[in-house]
Amino acid sequence: MPADQVFSGTYSYPAGDGFAAGEGVWSTTAGGTWTSPDVPAGAVVTVQENAADAVGNAKWGTPVVSDPVTVKVGETAKFTVDNPITIDKGAFSVTKSVSGDGAGLVPADQVFSGTYSYPAGDGFAAGEGVWSTTAGGTWTSPDVPAGAVVTVQENAADAVGNAKWGTPVVSDPVTVKVGETAKFTVENPISLVPSEPGTTPPAQNVPDDKGPGSLARTGLAAGSILAGALVLIAGSLGLIAAARRRRQG
């Protein structure tokens, strides 16, 4: 409400002992005081207020005016006029979603949270608060002044195994309207982290048959076997020859 907004009304009193009826007007600003001209002592004065000028994003309630007063000699009787005013209200919501090939790893009960804020506006102070919900859920704010331009931010999401969060996608600031719920969306992309590729076991250290060392060893082994075979054969022949000589003798 503007500090210089003027409120006004009328006052009146009926005729009394030795004086005629009277009336007049009064005006002042919020928090101010207006004092009447002289009024006959004994006059029973009643005060009324005119309808107050409209204020953006707000509604005036019914004025509360104190009861009639009787004016006394040399004194100033006092009236009070109270004007209740209510800021028009609205609300906003935050709907949470996750996307990407890692979405299936996000626990159903994982909570996402953040903050909201709006600067001061016509007839209301700046405000802020917190929001929280799960993936696929929607959080709705308490009442917010109509006309407030609300901005939403998200806190860092809790880590999910074998997946990596991307940059959140938050919808643009919204202006709250009377009796309506403005809508925000906050999307969190999440992608799977590729597994480490498997390693191939090292090849066994088997001697190469084509190497020169292998050829030498193979030759020696074959020669030894051949020599053994010759010895056995030669020995067998010797035994056979000896047996034949005995028979002939």
Residue 201 has pLDDT above 70, yes or no: no
Domain coordinates in residue numbering, the chain = 6-86, 88-192
Q: How confident is the model at residue 198 (pLDDT cuts 50, 70, 90)?
A: low
CA dist 246 and 249 (Å) reads 5
Q: What average pLDDT does the chain have?
A: 84
Nearest to 59 by CA among 146, 136, 142, 140: 146
> At 226, phi and psi to the nearest 5?
-65, -40
Residue 219 has pLDDT above 60, yes or no: no
Q: What is the CA radius of gyration of the chain?
A: 51
Taking only the tens place, the pLDDT of each residue in 72-122 is 999 999 999 999 999 999 999 999 999 999 999 999 999 999 999 999 998
What's the CATH code, domain 88-192? Answer: 2.60.40.1140
